[in-house]
Amino acid sequence: MATKPAPAPPTDATTDAAISRRGFFMKLGILFNGLAAGVLAVPIVGFLLSSITRSRANGYLSWVRLGKVSEFPEGETRLATFQNPYVMPTDGKTADTACWVRRVAGEQFQVFAVNCAHLGCPVRWFPQSGLFMCPCHGGAYYQDGARASGPPERGLFEYPYKIENGLITIEAGQLPTPGAAIAELTGEKPSCAS
C-alpha cells in the first residue's frame, strides 16, 4: 500500500505518460480477455439454450401413429401409448407417453393428454361415472374433457388427430402444460369447446 511521494506535482501529460505503457497494456489485456470471454460465451449460451432454440428451428412435434381405428370401440375411452418422436439414447421408458383416446362415434375422436390441466399429474378414466379424476389436487373432468370440478382452470389438453387408411395418428412430442397447451403449440383451435 505504501505509495511513493511524487517528486513534483504531476502535470496531465506526465500522468498520462506514467500510466500509458503499463496502463495501456493492462487495459489491452482486459479487452483481450473480454474478447475471449465473448467468443467463449457464444457456444456456451448456444449450448445451454439449445433445448429452446431447437423447438423453433425443427420443432419437436410430429405425427405419431396410435393404432388402428378398430382397436378403439365406439363410445368408449381407452388408454393408448406412443413413443415420443424426439428420443435421446438415455431416455429409457421415459420416452413413452400415454394418452386417453375417446372414440365418440365413427371417425370422430377425442385424444386427451393424461396430464391434468392443473399441474400435470396423470388423470384416470372412470367409465362408470364418466369422469376423469386426478389423484393429486382433486381435479375432475367430464368424458368430453370439459372441466367438472377442482382446481383446473380449463378442460383436458387435446391432441390434434387425423385418420388415414384406418389408422389414427396424433400430433404430439411435447409435454402439455397450462402455459403451452398442445393446441397453442400447433396454432390450431381446440377441436371441442372445453
Binding-site ranges for another protein (CB under 8 A): 48-49, 51-52, 55, 60, 79, 81, 84, 86-98, 114-115, 118-124, 126, 128-131, 133-138, 140, 142-143, 148-153, 173-175, 177-180
Nearest distance, CB of residue 43 and another protein, angstroms? 17
Between 67 and 151, CB nearer to another protein: 151
Between 115 and 169, CB nearer to another protein: 115
Q: Which residues contact 169 (CB under 8 A, 6 or more apart)?
A: 63, 64, 65, 66, 161, 162, 163
Nearest distance, CB of residue 188 and another protein, angstroms? 16
Between 131 and 167, CB nearer to another protein: 131
Nearest distance, CB of residue 62 and another protein, angstroms? 11
Between 174 and 194, CB nearer to another protein: 174
Q: Measure the CA–CA gap between 174 and 172, rounded to whole angstroms.
A: 6
Helix (H, G, I), strand (E, B) or coil at 118: coil
Task: Round the CA-based radius of gyration of the chain to a whole number and report it.
Answer: 30
Phi-psi region of 173 (alpha: psi -120 to 50; beta: other; left: phi over 0): left
Q: Measure the CA–CA gap between 110 and 93, rounded to whole angstroms.
A: 25
